[in-house]
Amino acid sequence: MIEAEDFVPTEPHTTVAQTAHTGARARIILALDVPSLDAARDLVARVGREIGALKVGKELFTACGPEAVHAWRNLGLPVFLDLKFHDIPNTVAAAVRAAGGLGARWLSLHTSGGADMLTAAARARDALPEPRPLLLGVTVLTSLGDTDPEEVVERALLAQRCGLDGAIASPQEVARIRAACGADFLIVTPGVRPAGSSAGDQRRVATPHDAIRDGADLLVIGRPIAAATDPAAAARAIAAEVAIALAERTRTATTASATVATRLVRMLEESQALLSGHFLLSSGLHSDRYVQCAKLLQHPQYARRAGMWLGEKLRVHQPEVVLGVALGGLVIGQETAAALGIPALFVERDANGAMALRRGFALAPGTRVVVVDDVCTRGGSFAEAITVARAHGAEVVAAGAIIDRSGGQHPLEVPLDALLEVRAEAYPAGDCPQCAAGTAAVKPGSRPQSRA
């Protein structure tokens, strides 16, 4: 028989190290991924007081029902009921109300169920008597390897907007979610594996130390503890890692936020699209920095994310068509149009080098158009595209770009909405200090020097 005294907190006369260990073990949720209540009791007895909470998932709950939650009341251990609710809003709200009566501390539900489902769950939670369970939105399962980390962040933000208390995500996305959602948003992290442990069927994993250091609040850990020869010793070792990471996190705490601009910079850096050196721009100017957006856009997940962000910026102008500027604006124009749910056309240079609508494209008079390119340096290509659109009788309501490096010195007569402003020195060839120093300029773009 397991008794509550097996889990009594450390006595008052404790060392600093013991106190740190107590705080660290409270972060560990032991996953009871076993087929019976007897097996669960045996595992909990072997682990002792080295963990802070218990997770009841689909296997144990299906086998034992509500007793899988009730069995731990005398131990004083909170329970995470991880059933990942995902259904129509009314059904999920009813499930939250029913689960609220079981006494679980946390409940999980899939963010892929959408805003209406998540909001219904939050309202059902708010109607419950205290103490109410905390709702956690499952972002992307840790068993899925090829995952866009920004998609995980977006799902966490959706959960937050809909009133959920936190999100469940792999340790590889924790830092991004913490920056995006703030200090008060609960992050629960599965896929945690001590160094040297087998990943099993998990794909996006990290050590307990790294997950906590990056901002996780709670770690859900199953096999590294349950399959160990000495589960209590395995849990103690993990708690020791957590204690070190908590101390490091306290010393390096930051208030950095994850705006769209900072998230885009991370994507640019990860795709090696931000370059430093001596560059000849398409405008004819020389610069010490160059943004090669093609390297960003070669990754479909980054292109889709940038298009979604730019679409949200441009939505206020109520466009009916996105007009991309070939070549740089082809991909981002298509993705922006997809985000807005409107057609994507593009202008390109004809045999004489002039911008034109070709390939059978046409704009009806009065059509509300946004012109999109990857980068605005001096705005020449934008201006040409705007002229083409107006020649067809269209109304150009705005321009959009991933990067604005014009410093506000562009000739456009419409608003320019960009995801990121990049400040970089740009000089005529005769005034370029790198040319004066004898450094050769590199032309990294896709076309020769032009009027743009």
What is the distance between the alpha carbons of residues 452 and 450, in angstroms, rounded to a whole number?
6
Using the structure block, give the residue that is written with the tokens 């004066």: 436
Buried b (16+ CB within 10 A) or exposed e, 150-159: bbbbbbbbbb
Is the CB of residue 258 less than 8 Å from the CB of residue 38? Answer: no
Long-range contacts of 44-48 (CB under 8 A, 24+ apart): 44/2, 44/72, 44/75, 45/2, 45/6, 46/231, 46/232, 47/225, 47/231, 47/232, 47/235, 48/6, 48/7, 48/232
Q: What does the DSSP 8-state code read for residue 184? A: T
Is the CB of residue 140 less than 8 Å from the CB of residue 155? Answer: yes
What is the distance between the alpha carbons of residues 286 and 279, in angstroms, rounded to a whole number?
6
Phi, psi of 300 (to 5 degrees): -55, -35
What is the distance between the alpha carbons of residues 45 and 51, in angstroms, rounded to a whole number?
11
Helices 149-161, 115-126: inter-axial angle, 10-degree rounding = 40
Shortest CA distance to 176 belongs to which of 428, 185, 316?
185
Buried b (16+ CB within 10 A) or exposed e, 255-271: eeebebeebbbbbbeeb
In the three-class reduction of DSSP (H, G, I as helix; E, B as strand; rest coil), residue 375 is classed as: strand
- Relative to beta strand 416-421, strand 166-168 is unpaired
Tell me how far apart the terminal alpha carbons of the chain are, to the nearest angstrom: 78
Catalytic residue among 55, 58, 84, 295: 84
Q: Is 55 a catalytic residue?
A: no
One-letter amino acid for residue 152 of the chain: V
DSSP secondary structure of 271-288? TT-EEEEEEE-TTS-EEE
Q: Which two tokens stand for residue 48?
A: 């002792």
Buried b (16+ CB within 10 A) or exposed e, 347-368: bbbeeeeebbbeeeeebeeebe
Q: Which residues, at least 6 apart from 286, have a Cβ–Cβ distance to it below 8 Å?
A: 278, 279, 280, 426, 427, 428, 429, 432, 434, 435, 441
- Residues belonging to the active site: 84
